[in-house]
Amino acid sequence: MVRAIFKGVILVIPILLVSVAEAATPKPIWAQSVEEIASRVNKVRAGDDLTPKQWPGGKKVAVSLSFDVDTEPVWMGFQGQSSPSYMSRGEYGARAGMPRIMKLLEKHQIPATFFIPALSMELHPQVVPMIQKNPRNEIGFHSYAHENPMTLTPEQERATYAKAMAIFLRHTGKRPTGFRSAAWDLTESTISIVQEMGFVYESSMMADDRPYVLLADGKDTGLVEIPVEWILDDWPLFQLSWPTKHVALRRADDVYEIWKAEFDGALKDGSIFILTMHPQVIGHRERMAMLDRLVSYMKSKPGVWFATHEEIAHYVKR
């Protein structure tokens, strides 16, 4: 009897193991139905184009410069690096890059949007008052420690953003309007957390180069998407990052040509031109001179509205 039960258990265990393994392994893409794939693809999609007929004061294009002040957390949180050399690269952003950026914005009398991880605010508390000297500048939400959201459970993601928000409020004294995820990576829970937190706009998606309504599971989230693009980001064009084997180091003149052509296109379309830069990347001499030249070029065109992401989001949401 005991032997029979024992035999039965031996037979049942492998069957159980197989079905658990089957349940845990997702089906490969080629084995899934279009409906199964579409349910994942449609988690977050682009809705209506929100480009207005004209921009404030009859302007033809909206230009918004954003700076992600990621300092050390971009290396620690995202790339798992904490050696003094990597930390010094983050420090460069706050110490050398930020004063140069503030000087350039002041020279041209234009505002900008700054996305700052809460941990960077704690490590470099002088950065927030530097930005707030111009009340038109905007500070947006950008994670706690530039942690990769893909490594978090929904509960961990929610708790981490709540912790970051408390620090954000303590440093800035103001609730952020805009959300940008770390490294533009989102989980399937991110958008619902962003909705719960009461943001007006999101800025990590790439479904268009015009502002649009952000849909989740086919429904309007109420969020405006201010889309980004890797070709409009200084990191992939200029950065050197051994851990990710990414070596770009393009000449600033090459990047000027890409960004100028993208701006010319945005002006022709009457839409938006959004740049994402990092003080530790763009803040170097040659690159800052290029940015100065680009802003001068854009200012030389009639009908350019230099605005923050927040101003654009509010304007297109009317």
The site for Zn ion, by CB under 5 A, has a size of 2
Bridge partners of residue 273, in order along the sequence: 63
- Nearer to Zn ion by C-beta: 78 or 273? 78
Phi, psi of 216 (to 5 degrees): -130, 125
> At closest approach, how far in Å is the CB of 256 from Zn ion?
23
CA pair distance 239, 245, nearest whole angstrom: 10
Residue with tokens 């000087």: 103
> At closest approach, how far in Å is the CB of 195 from Zn ion?
21
- Nearer to Zn ion by C-beta: 68 or 311? 68
> At closest approach, how far in Å is the CB of 117 from Zn ion?
7
> At closest approach, how far in Å is the CB of 153 from Zn ion?
21
- Nearer to Zn ion by C-beta: 55 or 114? 114
List for the chain the helix, strand, coil content (%; round to 5).
Answer: 55, 15, 30
Q: What is the DSSP string of 74-139?
A: IIIIIH---SHHHHHHHHHIIIIIHHHHHHHHHHHT---EEEE-HHHHHH-TTHHHHHHTSTT-EE
233 binds Zn ion (CB under 5 A): no
Whether 203 and 309 have beta carbons less than 8 Å apart is answered as yes
> At closest approach, how far in Å is the CB of 306 from Zn ion?
22
> At closest approach, how far in Å is the CB of 276 from Zn ion?
8
- Nearer to Zn ion by C-beta: 127 or 267? 127
Q: Which residue's Cβ has the minimum distance to Zn ion?
A: 68
> At closest approach, how far in Å is the CB of 74 from Zn ion?
6
62 CA to centre of own chain:
19
Structural element, H or E, at residue 235: helix 234-238
- Nearer to Zn ion by C-beta: 181 or 271? 181
- Nearer to Zn ion by C-beta: 73 or 111? 73
- Nearer to Zn ion by C-beta: 221 or 239? 239
Whether 198 and 165 have beta carbons less than 8 Å apart is answered as no
Whether 239 and 76 have beta carbons less than 8 Å apart is answered as no
Closest alpha carbon to 144 in 168, 127, 124, 125: 168
**263-282 positions binding Zn ion, by CB under 5 A:** none
- Give the x-and-dash track for 65-104 against Zn ion (CB under 5 A): ---x-x----------------------------------
**Would residue 71 be called left, alpha or beta, if left means φ above 0 and alpha means ψ between -120 and 50 degrees?**
left
CA pair distance 153, 150, nearest whole angstrom: 8
> At closest approach, how far in Å is the CB of 230 from Zn ion?
13
In terms of Cβ atoms closer than 10 Å to its own Cβ (0-12, 13-18, 19+), residue 123 is middle
- Nearer to Zn ion by C-beta: 172 or 276? 276
Q: What residues line the site for Zn ion (CB under 5 A)?
A: 68, 70
